[in-house]
A = this chain, B = another copy of it.
Amino acid sequence: MPRTGGEGRKTTLVEEAIRQFGREGYSGATLDSIAQAVGVRKQTLLYYFPNKDALLEACLAAAGQRVAAEMETALEASPDPEPRAEAVIHAVYELAAEWPEFPMFIREAGRLGPNAFDRFGSALEPLRVRAIGFLSAGMAAGEIRKQDPAMLLFTLYTAVIGSLTEASVLASFVGADDARTSLKRREAEVIELVRAALAPTSAG
């Protein structure tokens, strides 16, 4: 095949690998099918990444950077103090709409153990610290119900990822409607949930 050049091919391979690792899982996806989807032989893939694990690590790093970048852009665009959580969640859903396998890949990263997940999560570490600071400040100011901010962040994270990755459940529970619409509805529902979780007026 006509040599397409180095760095671009590498990126293409990583993107396709994220797609397939997300859809089929790490052990379900094969080097052969990833390479083939990019229009290249398996050995070409192995030229860029010495083995499957190295490919995974590249995917984790790339995914982390992408999410972090997306979130930071969203935060810059909405400097209002109020809808910050909403802006971040919206950014994630935008990414999911453009790249459906992305949330599935993140979930797979979590399944592969803390080591793998940290490779992804380290890119988000500054944002995590910032989020906890934001939540703590909100609690101190009485704008957010008092609770352990780290646990709250964890629960919100899982709610968002869950809502994004459990498509089969959604189909079974509410029937399968158009994918775009369904994503919008899920986003609205999750944002509602987050708002309720943060509200200090909740019955306790």
Instruction: Tell me whether A110 is interfacial, beta carbon within 8 Å.
Output: yes
A128 to B193: give the CA distance in the assembly, Å. 20
With beta carbons under 8 angstroms apart, the residue of B113, B145, B155, B199 that contacts A190 is B155
Residues on B with C-beta less than 8 A from A202 are 195-196, 199, 201-202
Query: With an 8 A cutoff between CB atoms, is A158 at the interface?
Result: yes
Identify which of residues 108-140 in chain A touch chain B, using a CB-to-CB cut-off of 8 Å: 109-114, 116-118, 121, 128
- Residue ID in chain B nearest A163 by CB atoms: B158
Indicate which residue in B28, B117, B166, B185 contacts A25 across the interface (CB closer than 8 Å).
B28
Q: Give, as a whole number of angstroms, the nearest-CB distance from A171 to chain B.
A: 5
Q: Which chain B residue has the least Cβ–Cβ distance from A124? A: B172
- Provide 27 A-B residue pairs closer than 8 Å at the C-beta atoms, listed in order of the A residue: A25-B27, A25-B28, A27-B27, A110-B167, A111-B168, A114-B172, A116-B168, A117-B172, A121-B169, A147-B189, A151-B185, A151-B189, A152-B189, A153-B173, A154-B174, A154-B189, A158-B159, A158-B163, A159-B159, A161-B166, A192-B197, A193-B197, A196-B196, A196-B197, A201-B201, A201-B202, A201-B203
